[in-house]
Amino acid sequence: MPLHMPAPPAGVPETVQSKLRALAGDSRFSTQALRLAERDQLEVSTPHQVFTIGLDDIESGAGLDAAQPVGWRYLVTAGGDVIASAETTQAPDGTPQPAQFTEGRFVGATATAVQAARALPQVEKGPFELRLLRIPSLYLMALWLHSPATDLLVPLAPSPIGKEGQIVPPAQLFGDLARQARARSAAAPHRPGAAEPPTP
């Protein structure tokens, strides 16, 4: 059974692609692959919802049940090659709106991991829905393969816990993350009025 791509809100892929091509047409991109791509060849594909979990939840032992949706992400292709990602966030009225277009290592790692996930025996027996788990405070991004029966996580490179491209059971991944979160808190205890670290 093929890996299931969830349906984003109506009209969002078209809005994202329209903005993508408009920026390309105005030569607004500073990153190389998007700047050099032919405007009419730029497409968005592989929609997946983005979820995040706070550091306090991880420290307290929470798992995927604490994950909150924060937007949608797409892979951007040019002539069939994956060159970037596109993300949306929620506007104040709750509607998704294009937020950023990025290149970098996580883009290629996502494309590679998605391709590998399609061939997994578990996914072939499916159904699994493609999601993305992002934990900015620990610099982690992982594919989240969700099904009613089970969940699989695949850390993307670079990963703070290693295991890039490998299937990791949620309990193991969150155990590793909780140890890192507690070690970070112990090394840098919060002080009233201290500045929060920047979001990567």
Strands 42-52 and 129-135: parallel
Its pTM stands at 0.88
pLDDT tens readout for residues 81-140: 999 999 998 888 877 889 999 999 999 999 999 999 999 999 988 789 999 999 998 999
Whether residue 126 contacts residue 117, with contact meaning beta carbons closer than 8 Å, is answered with: no
Q: Which residue is it, tokens 């391709």?
A: 115
pLDDT tens readout for residues 32-83: 999 999 999 999 999 999 999 999 999 999 999 999 999 999 999 999 999 9
Residue 14 has pLDDT above 90, yes or no: yes
CA 74 – CA 8 distance, rounded (Å): 10
Whether residue 157 contacts residue 116, with contact meaning beta carbons closer than 8 Å, is answered with: no
Residues 6+ positions from 153 with CB-CB distance below 8 Å: 133, 142, 143, 144, 145, 167, 168, 169, 170, 173
DSSP string, the chain: -PPBPPPPSTTHHHHHHHHHHHHHHTT---SHHHHHS-GGGEEEEEEEEEEE--HHHHHTT--GGG-EEEEEEEEEEETTEEEEEEEEEE-TTS-EEEEEEE-SHHHHHHHHHHHHHHT-HHHHH---EEEEEEEGGGTEEEEEEE-SS-EEEEEPSS-TT--TTS-B-HHHHHHHHHHHHHHHHHHS---TTPPPPPP-
Q: What is the pLDDT of residue 26?
A: 87
Q: What is the pLDDT of residue 125?
A: 87
The top-scoring range by mean pLDDT among 9-13, 144-148, 191-195 is 144-148
Burial per residue of 6-26, b for 16 or more beta-carbon CB atoms within 10 angstroms, e otherwise: eebeeebbebbbebbbebbee
Residues β-bridged to residue 96? 90
Q: What is the pLDDT of residue 82?
A: 97
